[in-house]
Structure formats: structure tokens, C-alpha cells
A and B are shown apart, each in its own frame.
Chain A
Amino acid sequence: MLFFWKGPMVLRRVVAGPPGVNFLSSLMMLACVAFIVPTASAAKKDSVPDWVRSAAAQTVPTYSSETNAVVLLHETNYTVSADGQAVEHVRRVVKILRPAGRDEGIVYVHFDKDTKILSLHVWSIGPDGHEYEVKDHEMVEIGSAGQGNLYDDNKYKAVRAPGRDPGGVIAYEYEQHARPYLKEKTWFFQEDIPRLKQSFTLELPAGFAYSTSWAHHDTAKATDLEHQHWLWEMKDTPAIDLQHVLMKPSAPALMGRMTIHYGVAGTPEASKGDWKGIGEWYRTLSQDRLITTPEITAKANELTLGKADFYDKSEAIAEFVQKQVRYFVIEMGIGGYQPHFAGDIFHNRYGDCKDKATLLSAMLSSVGVHSALMMVDHRRGVIDPDAPSIVGDHMIAAIEVPKGYESPLLRSVITAKTGKRYLIFDPTWEKTAFGQLEHNLQGGYGVLMEGSDSQIVELPILSPELNTIHRTGNFHLDADGSLKGTVTEKRFGDLSEDNRTLYTTGDAKEQKEYMDHVLERDFTTFHVADVKIENADALNKDLTTTYTLAAERFGKNMGSLLMVRPRVLGSEYLEADHKARLVPINLRQTMQAKDEYDIELPAGYTVDEVPVPVKLDMGFASYQSSTVFRDNVLHYTRTYTVRAVTLPPEKYGDLQKLAGVIAADEQNHAVLKKQ
């Protein structure tokens, strides 16, 4: 799935930390500054500050040959003035260790209308020891192109530092306004390269206090520097480098961070950053945006006309917002957090994730259904229930289920501490059926924005039976190995998402090419005809694909033997390597795949051998298959079930075993013999 194309990352600036944290931004910067090269040097000889020289003089430990670079120094000073406004001052020194680390020599600092850069200086030391100082006119400003956004005011100051070769050292220092409306600062102290030495200094005005919460790292104690100054220091912080890790979790879900909440001593925001406080803050941003309008009410009434049932009413409105309101982003400043007015969203029929959730909430309220916004992160594990913060990148809706109401169609339901039940639904995710929740949110956490009842909630992991592929085929095999028959494939849940997208938005050529590419994994020569697609847009029904298939030389004539693969088509191949596993395993989603194939044998042949049945249950997943010969027909069945979304690294051995079993079973053959 191409998640970033969908782009529901409106809150991403919350997690925008140091270079390397926001992978998407890194890519964009690489693309944009490719042609920007400092031009001329001043007459005066360039020189780097002592703090850069001192950091560069450190002895670098021995890292793996695939470590691109190392951060020699990363210092953050966060100073809050008496009016609550803050300024951030950052110093960073990076040493490039290999050619692939040259990108670390591309310096960029994000800013927008609320986070003005007050100063930026860049220096470097080439591998030959030559010192450079980048001049202001050599820097460029780059807008936030692409990412599916129509307009936002995210910008970057950027430059390609000279001397960015292995052995070179890149340093920069900047000072920048913090967002004026936030009383929260998150220090991201881990990235995809190691950090040798780093610190965070907090300076508060008299009368202010703070609290901290830590995610993916033990709490570290601050050194009190007196006069409202506190210092956190770290050394030898390892990288979270997942570049070559299979089934990897998202890096930000592993990277350590500390969130500071501050304010006037005695106020809730100063004494404890908690989920309730975050919800109350967000209510101030969103409550007037959720107000319905006569047009909204009229449309909601139209959609629910004749519907009395809670599910029916909610589904009609949810599907309207899901399908009829285009996704894209228009945001400036606080617009990264604050939705547009529901009336405007309805009128324009477009908006980002928080806009869509807001409109859904407003429409539901106009027909008497209460709902709340819910902040989530599409990267499972980023939101830590023990580390309250506004770190998150997506907004969805939590629709309150009436007391006593039960329906098997409500699959993604949570119960809050208040005892209220909520159906969790994401109107931005265009191919998830109402009642379900997309897999990347399952098993993660969401912040239920219910004013004083705001809280963190765990999102459910749905049953494998709600995310399925079921392939069936009836074939006849000729003596020359040709196979002819019909295939039916039914998909439901997230496993149907890509196909639904293809069959609702792809053109005929794309659809044909897709089918060919799927089948070429299992056949060398084949012809497909009579393709029929059903329920491509009916998300709560099986997406059904049927076609006839003719495959030449499917059975391999080997002397008097005819070798046939009972698993005719469809693969559940799992890629697992032989490396030691250090990070959790991301299984992505719970699911169940079933295959049932019948192959009628050619006259004059009988079965000499069939593959040995397989039955394996690892707890988190199970796999079983069998091939039997009955009434001149070879029957193959298999069921593969995944019951978990993540596994601890210790389970990698089990996963390797499962992968081996599946790979072997998929290649097994039955041996037919001439009678």
C-alpha cells in the first residue's frame, strides 16, 4: 500500500524532529536541493567555531560498515520567556562515514509562518581538514512540494554543505521560534544514525514549572543547573537503522523521545502533561469547527431518511464523508492542528483527515449521534500510552454507540473509562468498510478527544475472519500438461483494498496488466478470459473476481511422469532472512487466506504420490494444507491465518519456520503416472 500517497499526515509537524526522523522530508529535501551548490567563498579564510572543532576532534567508535554517519554533537536549548513564548536553539555536528552518508551533508531546517528561523549558520570540515563557512546567499528556501497536499506553508532553509565526503564533518546552528500556541516540546533523541553526545537544556521563566514523559526509553533525570535551568545529557545513543530489516516496525515507534509540558506553576499544563489536558486543549481548537449548519443538517437528514437504526444512519453519513469528500490538505500555521469549519468542508467537498473527521462528527450530531475526534498515528507504536503528547499524525472519528445497542457489524469498538462505547472509524481511509478499522491503526493507541473525558484508548485488533482472501478453482488437466478451468477470488477487509482501488479507479489496461502480473508468478504461459468483478465499491461485501484460465504446460511431462503443483495459484510467501532479530516483527495485519483447488486428471493417469499434509500452529499464526486424490480429482486445500499484528524479536525463529513451511508447501508437487 502506498500510504504516503494518501497523505493523511496533517499532524506530522508534531513529530518533525531532527534530521533523519522524518524520512519523507528527507527524501523531499534530497530531491529539491539537488542543484544547489554554494558558489563563491568570501575573501576571508573560512573558519569553524571552536565547538565544531572540538566535536570533530572526538574519537569515533567503530561502527558497522553500513553506518552512514554519526552525530558527534546534538545540543538543544529551549528557552521560554515570561509570556510563554519559546525559542529553540540547536547545534549539531555530524561526521560522514561512508559515501551513502553524503546526504547528511544536506542541511535543512523546517519553518513556517509560526516558526520563523531567527538565525542559521552552517559550517563544514572537508576530509582534507579544510574548513568552510556557508554564506547566507548560498542557502535556499524550499516549499513543501508534493505529498499530495494542495497547499501548506511548510518550508525549509537548506544548503548542501561543502566537503560532504566520507571523513567530512558537517555542522550547523540555528535559532527558531517555537509554535506560540503550544506548551509542549518533544525532544527526539534517536534517529537512523548513532549519536555520540547530545543534550537538551530547558530554561523557564520564574514561576513556571514543567513535567516530562518519556517514550521508548527509560526516564532520565535532569541536572538542575539552578535559576530555572535543567539539563538532560546522553552519550552513545544507538541508531534505529531499519534500512535492511524485513517486516520492520516504523522507526519512530522505536525511537526514544522526551516530551516536556510547561506552564505557570500550579496550572494543569505545568504539573502534568496528561491525555485529559491534551483533549481539553484540542477542544479549544476544534469545538467551533464542529458546529453544524443548515446545509449539513439537510444533507444528513437526506442521507438518513427512513433509517432509524444507529448503524444504518451512521453508515450512510460515514460513507458520504468517506467517498464524497475529497482528501487533500490546505493548511497554514495552526492549520496543522486545527480543522476547517464543518460548513466550509461540506461546501467545498474537500479536506484533510481532521477536516473529514470534523465533518463526519458534525453531520452525525445533526441526526442525534454523538461522536468525538480521535488523534492517532498511522505508524503503530508511535503513540505511547505512558507518554502523553500531541505526537501523532492522523485524525479519525470515534462514534458513540448507544447504550445497549449491539450489532455484529460493529467490529471496531472500544470502551472508554467512562463506560461509553465508541465505534472507531477513519473516513479518510477510502476502502475500509464502515464498522472496521484499517490494519495499521489496529493494536495502536488513539487519543479520544472528549473534553474533560479525554483519554488514551487502545485500538482493537480485528479478527482474521474480517480480513480475508478466499480463492477457489475448478480445473481440468490434459495429458500434455495444459490446465483449463475457472477461478473465483473473494476478498474482504484491508486485503481487498488495493484491488478495490484498481477496479474502481484503474483503467482497463492497468487492470489487465495487474491480472497478468499476478498470474505470471505461477504460470509461464497463460490466457485469461471472461473476467468479472463484483462489489468493487461495496466495501461491506466480498470483492469477487471470477475468470477462466488456460495455462499451457502447467503439468510437466517428465518421462512417464506428469508433475502437477496442487497449489495452482496464489502465494502467501513470507520473506524471512537469517540475521539475528533485534527489533519487533511487524506482521502488518491479522488475516486469513484460504485456497481450494480441484484438478481433474487426464484420462489414463493416476496419482502416484501427493505432497505430505502440513499442519503448523505457532499461536500468532497457523498454516495447514492437504492434497487428496478422490474420484479422479486432486483436491488441494490450505488455510493460512495470522492472528497478531506484532511479535517480539524472540519470535523470529518461529517466523522463519513458518516461512519455510509455506515456501515448501507452495512448491510441492503431486506425481501422476500413466496407468
Chain B
Amino acid sequence: MERFVLMILAQRRTLLRSAVLLALSSLGPMIAHAQKWTEPTPEELKMTSQAEAPGAAAVYLYREEITDDKLHMFSIYIRLKVLTDKGKEYGNVELPYYSVSGGGGFTINDIAGRTIHPDGTVIPFSGKPYEKLMEKTQEVKQMAKVFSLPDVEVGSIIEYRYTKRYDDHYFISPRWFIQTGLFTRKAHYVWRPTSLQLTSSDDRGQLTSMIAWTPILPKGAEVKQTRAPGNDGQLTLEVNVQDVPPAPDEELMPPINSLTYRVLFYYSPYRSNEDFWKSEGKHWSKVHDKFIGPGSGVKSAVQQLTAPTDTEEQKLRKIYAAVMELENTDFTHDHSASEEKSQGLKVANNTDDILTRKRGSGDQLAELFVAMARAAGMKAYLVAVTDRNRRLFLQSFFSLEQLDDYVATVNVDGKEQNFDPGSRYCPYGFIAWKHTQSGGLRQVDGGTMLIQTPPVGYTSSRVMRVANLTMDEHGMTTGTVKLTYTGDPALHWRQLALGGDAASLERGLRTRAEHLMPAGMEIKVDLIENVKEYEKPLVASFTVKGVMGSSTGKRILLPGDVFEMNTKPTFSHDKREIAVAFDYAYLTQDAVRINFPNTMAVETLPEGKSFMFQKSIAYGLKTETTPTSVTFRREFALGEILYMPPEYPELKSFYNRVETKDQENVVLKVLVPGNTKPAGGGN
């Protein structure tokens, strides 16, 4: 709620302060009246569950949030029914607040509460909230008022209310987050905005003339506007909702936490969505162009780095490689002012400073890349995108906050290409998955435009898994395993290594191999190649040793594709409410050869098969055999990443079919009985 802060015009402060004081004194009786509690209905007292949310720990019977700009105050009122033991935790309430030296922050006041037992007994909260320190720095003191409602038991209705007051010099537009983790029977939200003209507290200091909002509301709900009679009649914005389900939460769900039911308000100088993105985009571009430059340092560096005879692509590859060499502090740590000072560095004001430091955040390095491309004479643009791992871009939301990271677009030899220099070890021309298929804002000549980043094909992200294993007559298996990663899977391991060292990377890869291979196998890392050579695949080689498969006496059962034997079903739930979203498209290719002694022979072998799902997911298994070996070749390609709920049954069925196929065994017949013993055998 406190993100979009606007300050009143300086010349009106005094007037306003007087007005607030007057209002406060005259509103005393009205506030007292508002403190009345709601009498529970017999049904509320008796209820033990909510049909729409079976087994829920608690439900909100009523939630209310009233924002009154004249009072600089939010009033919050909660009525909640406790349905299980877990729901009793809602009786413990923590209300954070903060103060800023030199003004700012807010306070929590007027806390009141009570507990009502199912028999109607009322136990008022008579205690005093504790003042709990959360964090105190020289500038900010964050505290919380904490209290526990008395004698909360299963079946209790708990009620509490409080107010949040802001500094008189500020106005804060409300953000109503209507959908929570609990079912809500009824909720009521009101905002009485100021009619004063305000100015934003950001670097632009714009005058506001509008109130705007982004509504994401359940069917039938709307933001209702009413205005009191008269020329200066108070505007009231209001939302009433009922029977709001809990926020969805499913596995492999898109990042829709940014799209739960809500209304986000803002004071705005803009009359339309287009106006907002055009004007704010232009300003954003200007500010960043100032930082990007390029300045003399960048120009000089580019001159030294590139040759006049280089093609644009050759130049850009050199520039990209140079940027990738720099320390990306997103993966190490920010350097404090005292550290920078000790190195003779001042605050970074432009890309020359970033180049001098030889380090920067991912965003700063993206800006440096754009600067260097420009210095090399190319048209290069900064692009701000939403991190798809965190949220989805919403054009109707008037906020640049939803743009998390910077990537770059460069015109190379007449064709625009995208780059992700802020994601260290991302190959040239490759975009990390979290920045693909996402919305954002990019620079264009003379302004900005909204864009959608393109998808990346499944062949760009590959995992090749090769095993060459030899089993003796006792089931003891030795051999080698090689895992080769390209694209996003390689980026994952490389960036993990950036936060650690060779030992942590080795442990991570070994653990990965252990999870893939049969339980109990001893796995040693032999070699990890190309950790820093990001244009090449990352390769990890292992030696493995251990018992594999199981024995029945006359037969030995071996897993087919050993890399899939521990895989659990991707989808086990029958129903699905939200679309399925995978991170990125990919291709997995396996080749597994198991050699065995000539005292055994293949009795049965999984049949080769291939099948597809909607031309977007493909699976293929081929098997080969010789008198002393079996070989499996498996391919799995995920071509699309989003599948809507109606597609779920078919999608689940496809995955089940694949996973069942992968669990099929090779049956070896023991030609010389008595030579084998059960794998891992005890007795």
C-alpha cells in the first residue's frame, strides 16, 4: 500500500494540516460509534466448516479496509472464524509499522479485539499490545505491535480492528489485496480520496490530476464510485465482494501471485494507460540513457577491444565477452561504500564507472553492454522485463515496479537481436528463461514501446545423459556417466557455481547424479568441463559403482533408462484449476548401454516406442541388444511451456504413459544359475 507515495503541494500543507486537525477533533464521536462490534449470527456461531473450502483452518467472515485521505488513515477490521487447531494461530496478530528519521512512516493505533466462543460467550481483549523491535538503523526504525486474542479455541470468532496513520504531509493510495490464503465470506473496501492536487514524491514531482486503478475482481464485483452532492462533494470508491475463494496454489503454476483478486489505486497525472507508458517510458529511457552514455571510458575501451575491420557481429561478440568477464555482483555480493572508497571508487553515475570498477549488478552490466554496443556504432537499446519466475507483466498496472531486470536489443548487421548480459554466463544471443515470454518496456528510437520477449526453442536447452555401464555376474556395476548441459540447464549450474566455488559445484553435480542413478551407487566426479566457457556445453563426467537392478534367482531385472528410474510422476492429482507452466522448453537425450557377462542373456526388452502430445511434446525410446549388452536411446522434447486446464487430463495421461514406459525393465535370464545373488543382499 505504501509504494506509490505522493506528496501534497507545499503551499497547501498548512491548510491541510489545519483541516486534518479539525477533522480529527470533530470526528471523535463518529470513531467511537464505529468501534461497535458485529453481533455474530447463530449460523456463524455454530458453523464448523465452509463448504467452499473443505477442511479450511479458518475463514474470514468479514474484512474491511477504509482509507480516508482527510485523516491520513487506514482503518482495518477483521472478523474471522477459527475452524481447526491450526486456525487458532490467527489469534496471534503482528502489525508492523515504522518511522523514518526526518519524518515519514506510520503508526498503528486504536487496537481493539475480542473472542467469541461458539456458545456466544464474549472475551474482550483487555491487554496492551507489545512493542516489538524488528529492525533499527540510523534512518529507519521498524517495529511491530503484537497481541494475542484471549482464549481462542476451535469454533471461536475472533475480531479485531486497528488504524494505520500516516504523516500529515503524505497521501498514500490504497491497494486492496482481496484474495488471501483463506476463504472470505464478505469484504468491504472504501477509499475517500483527497481532492487536493498532489505532487509525486519521486524525481519527477508530477502534479496529479487523476485517480486511476487496476482492478482484478471476481465476477460481478466492481469498483463503485459515488460523489456527495455539491461542487466539492467527496468522492468515494468502494468494493464489496463475497465468497472469495482462497488464492490458488498448485504445482507447476504460472507466477499468478501478481494476479490474485485485487484493486491497485494510484494518484496519477495520466489520463490513460497509453499516456502512462508513453510518458513514464520516455522518462525511464532518458534517465537510463544518461547512465548508459557512452562516455569516454567506454568508447576508449571499445576502440581497444574491437578492430575497424571487424563485422558488427564480431565486434559485438567481443563486447559481450568483455562484459561477461566482469564480476556480476548479483551472484557475489554488493560492495559497500567503504569497500568502494578503499578502492578509490565513488558512486557509480554512468557506465564508465561500471567499467572502471570491473563489476556491477546484472542491470548495470546490461547497461554497460548497451553503452559499448553504441560506442561500437551499433543501435542498441535497453529493455526492462518482468522476471517470469516471479510474476507476470500487467500492462494495465501503472507501475514500473513490475519490471525486474534489464536485457538488451542490438541491431546487428541490420537485424535486431536480443541479449542477456546481466545474466552472467548466458551465451551470446541467448536469453535466460526467466526473461523469455515475458512482458516489458524497451527503448526505441525517440521513445519506448511495450514488448513481449520471444520464446526460445526446445533445442536451445538440452541435457544429454550418457551412461556406459558394465555389470558382473553378481550384479555389481561399474562404468561412466557423462552429463552435458546446454542453454538454461547449463546456466543454472554455472550461476550456482558463481555463488560458491569448485567444491560446491562438484557437490551439487554429484548430488544431481546420485538422485538420477540407482540408490546406493557410489558416484565420483571425474571432471567438470567448461564451467566458465559459457559458449560451450557444460560437461560433468562421473565414475559410478554399485549394485544395480534386482534378482529373482533365475533372472535379473535391470532398469531400462537408468536416468529415469527414480523419476516420480510429474502429475499425480486428478484435478487442475490453474494452467500448467513449465519454466522453459527443453530437450533431454539419453544413451545408456549396459554390458553384462555371457552367463546371462536378454529374455525381454522394453519395446521401442514414440508418442506425442499435441505436436508440442515428443517422446521416443529405442532399444538395441547384442548378446552381451543392451542399449537405450531416449528423447524427450518439451516444445511449449503453457497448458491450459482443459488440456490437463490429456497432458497428465501423456506424462503417465511416458513415465510408465520409462519404468519398464530389461529382463536378463541367468544362463548359469547359482552365480547371482540378490542385489544388496543381506541374510
Contacts and interface: CB of A to CB of B under 8 A. Distances in A.
Interface of A: 32, 36-41, 46, 65-66, 98-100, 102, 126, 128, 130, 132, 137-138, 140-143, 145, 150-151, 155, 160, 162-166, 244, 323-324, 326, 328, 330, 347-350, 430, 504-513, 516-517, 519-521, 523-527, 552-553, 556, 558-559, 561, 563, 573, 575-576, 578, 608-612, 614-616, 623, 657-661, 663-664, 667-671
11 contacts: A100-B500, A100-B504, A150-B130, A155-B133, A507-B55, A521-B568, A609-B553, A612-B552, A660-B682, A661-B682, A671-B552
Interface in B666-683: 667, 678-683
B568 A520 contact: yes
Contacts of A513: 573
B134 A328 contact: no
B639 interface: no
A99 B148 contact: no
A664 B547 contact: yes
Contacts of A36: 137
Given A39-B336, A99-B500, A556-B665, A519 B572 contact: yes
Interface string B185-219: 00000000000000000000000000000000000
A98 B501 contact: yes
Interface string B329-345: 00011111111011100
Interface string B75-97: 00000000011111001101000
B29 interface: no
B1 interface: no
Contacts of A126: 339, 342
Given A520-B568, A524-B660, A669-B552, A160 B336 contact: yes
B445 to A, nearest CB: 38
B136 A512 contact: no
Contact of B519 (A100, A102, A130, A663): A663
A511 B197 CA distance: 53
Interface of B: 53-57, 84-88, 91-92, 94, 130, 132-138, 144, 146-148, 150-153, 332-339, 341-343, 499-504, 507, 519-520, 522, 547, 549-555, 557, 568-569, 572-574, 603-604, 606, 656, 659-660, 663-665, 667, 678-683
B135 A40 contact: no
Given A349-B153, A508-B55, A163 B572 contact: no
Contacts of A657: 682
Contacts of B682: 614-616, 623, 657-658, 660-661
Q: Which 4 A-B pairs have the closest CB atoms?
A: A660-B680, A664-B680, A661-B682, A505-B86
A609 B135 contact: no
Contact of B520 (A521, A527, A616, A660): A660
Given A39-B336, A520-B572, A614-B682, A324 B665 contact: no
B336 A162 contact: yes
Contact of A145 (B134, B336, B342, B504): B134
B555 A609 contact: yes
B552 A609 contact: yes
B153 A324 contact: yes
A162 B336 CA distance: 6
Contacts of B336: 37-39, 160, 162
B395 to A, nearest CB: 30
A39 B336 CA distance: 6
A591 to B, nearest CB: 19
Nearest to B506: A65
A611 B550 contact: yes
Given A150-B148, A330-B148, 4 more contacts: A39-B336, A66-B503, A505-B57, A516-B573
Given A151-B146, A507-B53, A578-B522, A561 B603 contact: yes
Contact of B667 (A511, A523, A561): A561
B665 A563 contact: yes
A435 B57 CA distance: 29
A425 to B, nearest CB: 19
A164 B499 CA distance: 14
A326 B91 contact: yes
A507 B574 contact: no
B500 A671 contact: no
Given A132-B338, A142-B134, A558 B664 contact: yes
A130 B507 CA distance: 33
A668 B678 contact: yes
Contacts of A348: 148, 150-151
